[in-house]
Amino acid sequence: MRRREQREHIFKLLFMTEFNSEEEMNEQLSLYFDSLEELAEKDQEYMREKYNHVLEHLDEIDALLNETSKGWKTKRMSRVDLTALRLAVYELKFDKNVPTGVAINEAVELAKNFGGDTSGSFVNGILGKIAKDEDTKDEDTKEDVKVESEEKTE
């Protein structure tokens, strides 16, 4: 199974958490995976693991979304948009195997496919700001390291 397909399944699982209790989700996960034909064990393991990792970082992800999206707190966002954003922010901040452009493009596509008319641009705008802020932080960190190494050589 390709990463795009896996990502869509993870998106659907995360979306389901909006409608099911934590206790119910264990059974829902099993039912969902049982419904997928010819699902390889490694694909199921990857999807379950990434789903759990997103949930582990949910408070931090939501805090970043609330900080970034002026006037659109997570409680006001559509559930589709919020789910696409959560998955993408996880990939941007915690999954270094996913390039920034891929995380953003895939989230925009999920939002377009499952959300409303403006979902794609909404998701793109928020993720673009987060990615820009992350790039700025990375540049600041690189500058600090460069200055420290220059001071040590003097």
Q: Where are the domains of the chain?
A: 3-153
Q: What is the pLDDT of residues 9-27, one digit of tens each?
A: 999 999 999 999 988 999 9
Helices (H) and strands (E) in the chain, counts: 7, 0
Encode pLDDT of 53-63 as tens digits: 999 999 999 99
pLDDT at 139: 57
pLDDT in tens, 116-134: 999 999 999 999 999 998 7
Q: What confidence tens digit (pLDDT) does each residue in 66-101 have?
A: 999 888 899 999 999 999 999 999 999 999 899 999
Second-level CATH architecture of 3-153: Orthogonal Bundle (1.10)
Contact 81, 74 (CB under 8 A): no
Query: What tokens does 13 get?
Result: 């699982």
Phi/psi of residue 25, nearest 5 degrees: -65, -30
Any residues with CB less than 8 A from the CB of 118 and at least 6 apart, and which?
Answer: none
